[in-house]
Structure 1
C-alpha cells in the first residue's frame, strides 16, 4: 500500500465522509472503532437497506497531486466502462476543519459483486487508491466499514470500523482544499503545477515560455477598469464603447496568446485547468502594466472571473455551502496587479438566456452548466460579490446599451477621476 494511504490509516477514524448523490441532498457519515451497542445507520445506508447488503468506496490518495488529479478524472470513465451495472457518486473524505485534508473518491453500489470486487482488487494493486467495503450487519440496522489491505481482494480486508451518522459540515468540505488547488493566489504556485505537467502535457512547455515572473506590485500610472459578468450580459459591447469614450486600451483575459492551448487545457482536471487560467491573469497583468503607463486600460474579465467560476465549480449545492464572507479564498493575490475599479454586470436570468439564443453561439461547458443549473449560477454570482481587493460594483445591464455606458462612465469618473 502507498505511503500516503498508510499515513491516512493512522487517523482514519477521525475522518468524515460526504457523498454527493445526484439529485438528492448529500449524505454524511463518520466512523468509530468500537461498537456502542445502539449505532444507528446513517441515512445513506438506511436507503440501501432493502436492496444491498454490501457497497464500496474508493479514495484516490496518491502522493503526487498532479497524477492523482488526472487519475481521479479518468477513474470515472473506467468505472462506467468496466462496471456498466454499477451506480456511483462523488465522495469526499476529510478531517473536519483541517485544511488540505480532503481526499476525492467515489461511492459505489452494484448488484454484481464478483466483477466489482475484481476491479477494485486490481485497483488496490496497481493504482493510488484506498478501497473500503461497507457490510450490513446481521440485524440489518448497522453497517461496518472494512478497509482493504491492498492485496487485491475482500478476503484481505484489514481494519474494521462502525459506520455512524454525522452532521453535515457548516461549509462544503471542498473548501478545505480550494487554496492553490482550485483558486491560485500566487504566480509561483500556479506555475509549479504546469512545470510538473511537462511529461504528461507537452503543451505546458509552450505556455511556460510565455511567462515572466511578475514585478513587485505597484499602482499603475493610469486607471485600470475591469468589466466582469456572465456571458451575454453585455461585456463586449460595453468594453468597446468604453474604449472609444475614454480613448483607452482594451485587453481581454485570458489573453489571445493562450488561445492555441485553451481547448487542450479545458480537457484537464480542475487542478491543471485552473492553474492554466491563473497564469493567464498574470500574462494579462503584464500587458496591463505596459499599456497603463500611457493610457487608461479597460479589461474584459480578470481574476474575479477565474476565482468565481472555480469556487462555484468546486463547491456544489446552495450558496450557503460557499466559504463565509471574509474567508481567505476571496482575497486578491498579493503578487497580481490590482485594478482601480471592477464593474460587475448583472442581468435577469431569462433575459440573459434570450440574448444567448439570439447570439446563436456555441456554449462552453461552464456556460452550459449556468443554463442548466440555477444553483451553479447563484454560486458564481455570489462568489463575484464576495471577492475583495477590490470588490465588484454591481451595475444592472438590462437597460439599453447607451444607458449602461453612461452609468459606468459616471462610476469611472467618480472613482478614477477620468
Structure 2
C-alpha cells in the first residue's frame, strides 16, 4: 500500500511545488524539472548554506495510504531522525503539493547534512525506504557548482523510481497565493462536520483503544433542530483571561446552565489525545463540540446556556498551529477555513476575552496548573498568540464580540451583560 501511495505522486512530479520551513519564517519554495534548467532560472536559495565540496541534502515525504497511520508515522519520524542522525544534520519541516489542489499536500522533512561524509545519513535513509511509508530524495550539486539536482531513491521493494539519466534539476519558484498548509486544513486540522470527525475516530479504533470510548459517548447522529427557546452564549479567550470567573458569574446572574467544551466526560482522555498528531487530536476536540451541542439542545429549552469555549477555540488553535510563519500567512478573511460547520448549532452570541500578554502570563504563574503544549507555546511565542487571536476574529457564523478583560471582574461582567441585553434581549 505504501508503494502505491508513493507511485501515485510520480505522474505529476514535475508539476509539484516543494516547500521547506526554516527558523519559523515563511517557507522556501522550489520546483523540479527534467533536462537542462532554463537560462533564467535562479539557483535555489534553500541550498545556499551548503558549503562547496561538503554536505548533502535529502527530503523525506510520508506517503502512507492509511492517513491515520501516516499521521502517527509523520509525528514519530522527526524524533527518529534527530535521534539517529549526526548532530551536524539539520531537520526542517517540508511539504509537497500541487498549487491550489486541496487534496495534494504531502508532509515530510528536509535534511541538510553538513558532515564531511553522508554515510551515516544515507544508511538510515536507505533503511527507511525498505520498511517505512516514505519517499526519499537526495540533492547534489552539479560540476558547475550552480545547478542542484534531485534523485528519487528506490522504493521499499528495491525497484528504481527513476534512472540516473532522468534526474531532475532544482530551481527556486514563487510560492502559492496561500500558505501550503491551508491546502490540508479542511477535515484534517479543522473539522466541518460530525461525520468527518467521527470517521477519523472510528479508524483509530484498531490502534488507539481509547478511541472506542470516545465513540460510545457520541450521539448516534447529528441532525438539524429548531432554535431553542433561550439564548446560547459562548465565552472564548486564551487561558487566564478570566473565562471561568465570567462564566460562573453569568450563570448566577442569568439563572443559566453552564456547560464546557470539551465536556467533562472527555476529561480523562484529554491528556492521551493531546499527545496524538493533529489529525487525531483535532478530531477528538471537534467531537467534544458535538457532545456539548447535544446537552445545549436539552438545556436551552429551559434556561439560557453559557458555554465555556466552543468551536471558535477548536478552529483558532488548529489554524494557528497548522500555519507557520507570520500572521500574514493565515488564510485571508472570508476563506472557507473560517466557516462554521453546517451541522453544528450556532450560538446567539460569542464573546472573546482579550488581555495584555504580560498580564496573562502573570495570572498563569499564579495558577500553577499544568499547561498543554499549545498553552506553553502561547507563553513563549508571541507570534503564535497573535495568530490565534486573529483566527478568532476571522471566524464567521457567528462573528465574535471582543471584550477587554483587564478591568476588574465586575466591570467585565457588566460589559458582557450589556452585550447580552443588546443581542439576546435578556
Asked if residue 268 in structure 1 is aligned to residue 276 in structure 2, the reply is yes
**Which of these residues, 369, 382, 388, is aligned with residue 380 of structure 1?**
388
**Aligned partners of 2:152 and 2:161 also within 8 Å:** no
Q: What aligned pairs does 1:159-174 form with structure 2 within 5 A after superposition?
A: 159-174=166-181
Distance 1:268 1:411 in 2: 38
1:42 matched residue in structure 2: 44
Q: What is the TM-score when the length of structure 1 is the normalising length?
A: 0.96
**What are the ranges of 5 or more consecutive residues in structure 2 without an aligned counterpart?**
none
Q: Which moved more, 1:25-34 or 1:280-289?
A: 25-34
Provide Cα deviations, 1:274-325, integer angstroms capped at 9, x if missing partner: 0000000000001111110100000000000000000000001111111111
Distance 2:283 2:6 in 1: 26
Distance 1:116 1:154 in 2: 21
Q: What aligned pairs does 1:191-210 form with structure 2 within 5 A after superposition?
A: 191-210=198-217
Shift of 1:343: 0.3
Distance 2:55 2:422 in 1: 67
Q: Secondary structure at the match of 2:31?
A: strand
Asked if residue 253 in structure 1 is aligned to residue 256 in structure 2, the reply is no
Provide Cα deviations, 1:220-271, integer angstroms capped at 9, x if missing partner: 2210000000011110010000001100000110000001111111110000
**Aligned partners of 1:117 and 1:154 also within 8 Å:** no
Distance 1:51 1:316 in 2: 32
**Aligned partners of 1:224 and 1:298 also within 8 Å:** yes
**Aligned partners of 2:132 and 2:156 also within 8 Å:** no
Distance 1:128 1:219, change over 3 A: same
Asked if residue 94 in structure 1 is aligned to residue 97 in structure 2, the reply is yes
2:333 matched residue in structure 1: 325
Q: Secondary structure at the match of 1:198?
A: helix
1:137 matched residue in structure 2: 142
Instruction: Give the count of matched residue pairs.
Output: 418
Tell me the C-alpha RMSD between the 2 structures: 1.7
Distance 2:335 2:43 in 1: 34
Provide Cα deviations, 1:372-413, integer angstroms capped at 9, x if missing partner: 111111110000000011000111111111011011001101
Q: Secondary structure at the match of 1:58?
A: strand
Distance 1:217 1:389, change over 3 A: farther
Distance 1:286 1:386 in 2: 26
Provide Cα deviations, 1:119-143, integer angstroms capped at 9, x if missing partner: 1112112111111010101111110
**Aligned partners of 1:53 and 1:136 also within 8 Å:** no
1:70 matched residue in structure 2: 72
Distance 1:328 1:23 in 2: 25
Shift of 1:61: 0.9
Shift of 1:106: 0.5
Give the 4+ runs in structure 1 shifted more than 6 A: 152-156
Asked if residue 184 in structure 1 is aligned to residue 191 in structure 2, the reply is yes
**Aligned partners of 2:93 and 2:108 also within 8 Å:** yes
Q: Which moved more, 1:288-297 or 1:110-119?
A: 110-119
Distance 1:95 1:183 in 2: 21
2:320 matched residue in structure 1: 312
**Which of these residues, 395, 408, 412, is aligned with residue 404 of structure 1?**
412
2:292 matched residue in structure 1: 284
**What are the ranges of 5 or more consecutive residues in structure 1 without an aligned counterpart?**
none
Q: Secondary structure at the match of 2:407?
A: coil
**Aligned partners of 1:31 and 1:163 also within 8 Å:** yes
